[in-house]
A and B are shown apart, each in its own frame.
Chain A
Amino acid sequence: MPMQSETAARPAGPRPVQSGRAGGAGTTAGRYGPWRLLTLFLAFLVILVNPFLNYFFGINWLQGWYQSLGVGHLWFVSPLEGLESLLVTRSLYLPSLIGMAIPLLLAFLLGRVFCSWICPISFFAEIIERCRLPGSRRRGGRVRFGHHLIWFALVAELLLTMILGAPVFVVLSPPGLVGREIMMAVFSRRFALEGLFLVAVLAPELAGRRVFCRSFCPLGGLLALVGARRRMVVTLAPERCIECERCSQACPMALRPARGETLSVYCWNCGACVDACGPAALAFAWDGADPGSRAGVRFAYHFAQGRNEHAQEK
């Protein structure tokens, strides 16, 4: 498998140890982090201000939140919600399909960037991460579940939806609930009870990292599946890697970028590893590495990887 052979191809022996990540030519520290936080903040701002605009000023230019967002006459529909709606009612509705097209295209080209760069849950998680228990910042934190659980979450969610004949995720979608709670607060001067689910989703963030996003979010699972062969990936230049493992410490998804795991289906292109990499061995690349060899192995490789990791934890 290519990723392992890359690792093996590295020259053995002592490596030059670089002190600190700041300074030095080619350093990329902090390049994406602030932008990601800004994007997350702006994305949160959109759903924060639009109930106020609609309620107090009658401005309908923006409507909804990340289940369906209306920007003027442009509509976005969350793919999983749209899929549920389609499966339960077994009817196609063109505006809904068109609304799903842009998020799906985004996921197809860039991967789970909705999750890491837009989703309000990620915004809260990044905030919490900055004021959290010491020690939990490393390697995905203390609370961890297998990556592959996300596929079970996706399948279970769709099955449950079809058995019940009523959608499950649209009712309790965490990014949707954030919008719903803000809107309820503005329109009805109260919060909806289901907001407690948000507390349950965000509570593990105190001791872990993206626990829900990584292993349980059905929408994340769908976007990861769509983005399995994404064009944008984080690539590793093995000759520059000093195996300091800073990237593994930085990765909120508990992947090991230095071992090529950024090419896996579970990487959500947040760029935290790129920022953490001192010698600039990691970088975003459009259609990086060799897509032909990479595409086929992704699922197989990382299912095996996840299982090994799991076995080690026990």
Chain B
Amino acid sequence: MNRRKFLRRVPAWAAILLAWPVSLRAGILASPVATNRLRPPGAVPEDLFAGRCIRCGRCVEVCPYHAITLLDIRAGVFAGTPLIAVEQIPCTLCMKCVQVCPTGTLARIGQEQTRMGLAVINRFTCLAWSGKTLCRTCYDKCPFKNRAIVLDRLKPVIREDTCTGCGLCTHACPVTDDLGLKAVNIEPIYAHAE
């Protein structure tokens, strides 16, 4: 291909790029982080994540619980980044992944500084809050028992300043509603912070 031929094709390429459906473009750049879909501990804010992570998969490999999974090309530019589906396998806060991350995408933090998200209790579906039984599974499973989840007149209450968003409560929760959500879900409220 010579230069003239190449230059002649430039408008065609520009047209294709502009005609590319906006929805698809948004899909390519859309973050996979959502309710119960979280980054491993110590993750940088989500708008930096795709740029900083080099997709080496080492966090996935060292995770002894296989909680961290790798996204594929359906996640657009986030292909190859790690994600935890907490209702399937929650994070046990062993902090092995933050030790191996070569780019600082997962900062080297401790268990208590971890903020993967915040547990939020749905008081309509929660067995204890709706008065069906005296369920306190989440309270029992919380690694920061009596600190991150406390019992207020036998009903679980989340303490926002202590909850790490590890998802052990979500995984243990016996309730699953029509949308596949539990009665206690992790919301990634810190993902876009800073």
Contact = CB atoms under 8 A, between A and B. Distances in A.
Contacts of A51: 61
Interface stretch (A73-81, A205-213, A222-230, A281-289): A73-81
A303 B69 CA distance: 45
Contacts of A85: 51-54, 103
A91 B51 CA distance: 11
Interface in B32-81: 44, 48, 50-58, 60-62, 64, 66, 69-70, 72-74, 77, 79-80
Contacts of B102: 64, 68, 70, 75, 77, 95-96, 99
Interface residues of B, number: 30
Given A60-B96, A170-B53, A187-B70, A93 B58 contact: no
B64 A58 contact: yes
Interface residues of A, number: 44
A88 B58 contact: no
A96 B58 contact: no
A77 B101 CA distance: 11
Given A68-B102, A96-B103, A171-B79, A55 B66 contact: yes
Contacts, number: 126
A67 B61 contact: no
A175 to B, nearest CB: 11
A68 B58 contact: yes
B175 interface: no
Contacts of B64: 58
Interface stretch (A22-30, A103-111, A113-121, A159-167): A159-167
Interface in A175-189: 176, 179-180, 183-184, 187-188
Given A77-B102, A85-B51, A193-B72, A166 B80 contact: no
A176 B54 CA distance: 10
A170 B71 CA distance: 13
B29 interface: yes
A14 B52 CA distance: 61
Interface in B113-159: none
B80 A50 contact: no
Given A64-B56, A170-B54, A180 B74 contact: no
Nearest to B102: A68
Most chain A Cβ neighbours within 10 Å, of B55, B66, B73: B55
A67 B54 contact: yes
A204 interface: no
Nearest to A66: B56
Contacts of A305: none
Nearest to A82: B54
Interface of B: 29, 44, 48, 50-58, 60-62, 64, 66, 69-70, 72-74, 77, 79-80, 96, 100, 102-104
Instruction: Across the A-B interface, give the 3 residue pairs with the lowest CB-CB distance, nearest first.
Output: A88-B51, A68-B56, A192-B72
Interface of A: 50-51, 54-55, 58, 60, 63-65, 67-70, 75, 77-78, 81-82, 84-85, 88-89, 91, 93, 95-96, 99, 164-167, 170-171, 173, 176, 179-180, 183-184, 187-188, 192-194
24 contacts: A60-B100, A63-B57, A63-B100, A64-B61, A67-B57, A68-B103, A70-B100, A70-B102, A77-B56, A77-B102, A85-B54, A89-B52, A93-B104, A96-B104, A164-B77, A165-B51, A166-B77, A167-B54, A170-B53, A171-B55, A183-B60, A187-B69, A192-B70, A192-B79
